[in-house]
Structure 1
Amino acid sequence: MKHLIKYSGLMLLLLCACGGKDNKQVQEINNVPQVLNNGKTILFPNTSSIAFFKTEPIGSSVLSNNITAPAKVSATVMKSEEGASQNIILFENSDLAASYTQLIQHIININQIKNKNIRQKQIELERAKDLQAHGAATGKELLEAQTALSMEQAGLANERAAIIEHETKLKAGGFQPEVLKKAKAGTSFIICDIPENQISKIKKGDNCIVRFTAFPNEKFTGKIDAVADMIDQSARMVKLRISLNDTSGKLKAGMFATVSFGLSEGDFISVDKNSLVTVQAKNYVFVKKGTKYFERTEVTTGDQIGNRIVVYTGLTNGDAIAVQGVMQLKGLSFGY
């Protein structure tokens, strides 16, 4: 009898142990997510098992991108101590300095030729014509008067051609001649290069922050005066001219700087860069549907701005996408 009781108890323990093991296996099976619809849908058995996968709601928002560009003080404007009509401009580039100096001289020459020389020669020609009409001047004297006027007109054309040449050089360096001539003393001009693909985001009148190597603890506010008319064909860069007020005179031509632009990229839906997976050149995110499953969704993406990636198609405002556990979802969805 004692042996029978002992044997029965042992069998009961074995049955309980086997039952517990089976229950554990069933429980583990029940906790395994189901992958459906060729991997597009991942269904979890309960809300506790899906809780590991953190999500964020997405929506349209204005994205800003801060880009920086190396720069240099290309010119500073100083008042003439001799009271000249033109302020002194100190250029970092000696070729630009020469072009500007010659430009000013050619402008002076043109004014002299137009307002004095040509006018005088026209008066002399009219006088020679009148004298010849009355028999008081020879044909030679009339021809000499006509030649003198033609020479002054040719000189005027040469001066204008020289001005175009020097204007072209200044514009290639990022300067508009008229701006230089009207610049106030205490103005500093900063020249920087930005990539060609950023031109559409920059416009005249925008403010920017300028920091100088010589003054690391200070920042200056500059204004974009102009975007150059030419693009560097090899580097695909375009010059910007930035002006800032430096009444203290601490900035010197040739100083190095860094310019920062806060650019608005527009109103877009965007996702965290960690939420995106790429498989065979296609981009996907995992959108949470209801409380127990994710759906793999193909998206069309644009530029990365900071930690965000612009999404053009595939998502709508209010979608909740996975931002944590994305690689695990990718493995379940694609089988690796």
Structure 2
Amino acid sequence: MKLWIAALALVAMMGTGFFLAFPLPGSSNGASRVIDAATGAHAGVPRQHRAMQLLPREVLRVAPATIAERLTVSGEVRPVQRVILRAQSGGVVAELGAREGEAVRAGDMLVRFDTEELAATLALRQSEVEATEARLRFARQALERIERLAERTVATQEQLDQARRESAVLQAQLDGLRAQAGIARAALRDAEIRAPFDGVVASRSVDVGERASAEAELMTLVDPTRLEARVLIATRDVPRIAPGQAAELRIDGLEGETIEGSVLRINPVANDGSRFISVHIGLDDPDGRLRGGMFATGTILVEERADVLALPATALREDGDGAYVLRLAEGQIERRPVVTGAAWSGGRIEIRDGIASGDTILIAPLPGLGEGVLAEVSGG
């Protein structure tokens, strides 16, 4: 009995001009639907001749655009110029000219060693050189006398050979002592280590009074005005990267800002134990806000083309005849075969043939819409 009452109510509603609109099959949000006959626009028109209503977001008006292919990267900001200052020879640190975080100028004294011990060592080596030089002079004079005596057969050949050996040994000793004196002289000269360039002290490994051995690390100096990002690129993507390509990076701590740069260098070999290549990106930082060690994420512009017709991948359909799109023209859906090109970032596909600028293309994956179906864009 209730079923008959519901049927009669439905017939009565249809008789008064009302029509219940059902969502298009396959549309999760009911975006496409038959226009209600009760609005008056299509009153009295058979349902099969009524247009399906499409939302603006379900279609796209084609227009030439500039499309770009970008490679996502991440890495660390590093100073371009960084030097570790080391002790040329051992000694006691007598004075330090800068602390961590302090700026210095090229030529500023950074580390000075106690010169008393170094000067004493140099004096000792120099005295040994002078003593050996004197012994060598006497040995050569003796050799000359023995050579003259040997010419008159007064001195034996054995005496002559012995004099020559003594002179040669002393010459070798003198050469060695002169080299040691040169090292001591260089150590005294290098007792002061000066900044090789304008920069900031990043670290300091010694304090006043400590003894530093030869080649020990003393300070690390960096140039904060020249920074670059070192990012890792998979080996399969390296052929797409070239010096000069533009990059856009976002830096931790500088939220909401984009730092521009360009590819400077590409390492020739992969990092040990990985299939990644280091790529160095020069950064534009006129305000000096970047710091070494900051984490960076962004993209490298691999390719860019202007005046290209492209569609989202969701607009493409395929059947036994090949790829096609659905175009809305004069209130009706049309099937348009297309020739596709390269796939670009953002899920866009280049369309080389089959559509033109100004065409309205259905981009939403709505099953049930096909060639010949009447449709219109709501509000359009």
What TM-score, normalized by structure 2, do the two folds share? 0.40
What TM-score, normalized by structure 1, do the two folds share? 0.44
Q: Structure 1 or 2: larger helix share? A: 1
